[in-house]
Amino acid sequence: MFEILTKEMLTPIICRMKVSAPRLAAAAQPGQFLIVRADEKGERIPLTISDFDREEGTVTIVTQKIGASSTDIIAYEPGECFADVVGPLGLPSEFVEMPEEKLKQQRYILIAGGLGTAPVYPQAKWLKEHGVPVDVIIGAKTKDILIYTEEMAPVCDNLFICTDDGSYGFKGMGTNMLEHVVSEGHKYTQAVIIGPMIMMKFTTLTCKKLGIPAIVSLNTLMVDGTGMCGACRVSVGGKTRFACVEGPEFDGYEVDFDEAMRRQGQYRAEEAAAMEHHVCKIGRGK
């Protein structure tokens, strides 16, 4: 059983939890993800790893209340246990295994959208710790749903924050912010984009325009996360790849985002029905 040690609501619908999972924490690397199954009747939900502490034996996950299963995950309190937490899954970020010579020449811009800000954090942290120049853009619709602004500042060189409605920081989307930053003279060798599929699609297009290579982290559907089900199939450069074992990070220029977005919504009708009949477990006691 995997005990929840701490829990904070970062916004009314986004929750951060630190969970005890010693084996997983010992092996985790930036860019990887894990799967949580709250209880016997829950789904296996893939979540990015927002942080890990090998000594404590803990991993940090950030969840947004979307469907029935994520609602259940958020209902858990410290002291309670998830039935299953398994990982780390997927491949680590490219920079983790990059030769030092090459790494030294890089200047990273990490572009986060909404919940995607959480998995950007361990990447920025890793790059900063290894002395690689790294800037971060955090974008959100409004000020109320911005997360990780305080945590991010110390792990990057420049932090740029934007909101669609201008309620905090620069007024505009991540794409506008990126163009602005580049127009001010910042130069990057590599962008990493993590956020909703549609945001990754358009941010990749902006990167292409600006001539910056772009890596995206795909949050596809999956069941087992080990290559067994193939639900996570994505077309990358015209070839079918499994996001769970060959990803989750791919060259954004090569990803067929429209197909990926359609595939992500494959069970939307079934999930809407489940949500309708779902009995929320908040306050259910033990």
Partner 1 sequence: MANRIPRVAVREQDPKVRATNFEEVCYGYNREEAMLEASRCLHCKNPRCVSACPVNVQIPEFIAKVVEGDMQGAAAVIAKDSSLPAVCGRVCPQETQCEGSCILGVKGEPVAIGKLERFVADENLGKASAEVAPANGVKVAVVGSGPAGLACASDLAKWGYDVTIFEALHKAGGVLEYGIPEFRLPKDKVLKHEIEEVRKLGVKIETDVIIGKTVTIDSLMDQEGFKAVFIGSGAGLPKFMNIPGENLCGVFSANEFLTRNNLMKAWREDYLTPIHAGKKVCVVGGGNVAMDAARTALRLGAEVHIVYRRTEAELPARREEVHHAIEEGIIFDMLTNPVEVIGDEKGWVKALKCIRMELGEPDESGRRSPVPVEGSEFEIETETVIMALGTSPNPMISRTTAGLETNRRGCLIADESGATTRKGVFAGGDAVTGAATVILAMGAGRTAAKAIDEYIKNNY
- Write out the two tokens for 53: 């502490």
Place of tokens 């090459």: 102
- 23-42: which residues touch partner 1 (CB under 8 A)? 23-24, 27, 37, 41-42
* x/- letters, 148..187, toward partner 1 (CB under 8 A): ----------------------------------------
Query: How far is 45 from 225, CA to CA, in rounded Å?
Result: 10
Query: If binding is defined by CB under 8 A, does position 3 make contact with partner 1?
Result: no
Instruction: Give dist(CA 98, CA 95) in Å, integer.
Output: 5
- The verdict on 18 binding partner 1 (CB under 8 A) reads no
Single residue of 9, 153, 228, 282 touching partner 1 by CB under 8 A: 228
How far apart are alpha carbons 42 and 46 in whole angstroms?
12
Q: Convert 21-42 to b/e letters by CB count within 10 Å (16 or more is b).
A: beebbeebbbbbbbbbbbeeeb
The residue among 88 and 139 lying less far from partner 1, judged by its C-beta, is 88
User: What residue type is 178 in one-letter code?
Assistant: L
Residue 238: DSSP 8-state: T
Query: Which residue, 18 or 263, is less far from partner 1 as judged by CB?
Result: 263
Q: Establish if 262 lies at the interface with partner 1 (CB under 8 A).
A: yes
Number of chain positions touching partner 1 (CB under 8 A): 42
Does 270 sit near partner 1 (CB under 8 A)? yes
Cα(145)–Cα(141) distance, integer angstroms: 7
Question: 142 phi and psi, to 5 degrees?
Answer: -140, 170
Span of 7-15, 21-29, 58-66, 142-150 interacting with partner 1 by CB under 8 A: 21-29
What are φ and ψ of residue 169, in 5° steps? 65, -150
Identity of the amino acid at 211? G
Q: Does 246 bind partner 1 (CB under 8 A)?
A: no
271 binds partner 1 (CB under 8 A): yes
Residues engaged in binding partner 1 (CB under 8 A): 23-24, 27, 37, 41-44, 68-69, 72, 83-89, 223-224, 226-231, 233-235, 240, 245, 258-259, 262-263, 265-267, 270-271, 274, 278
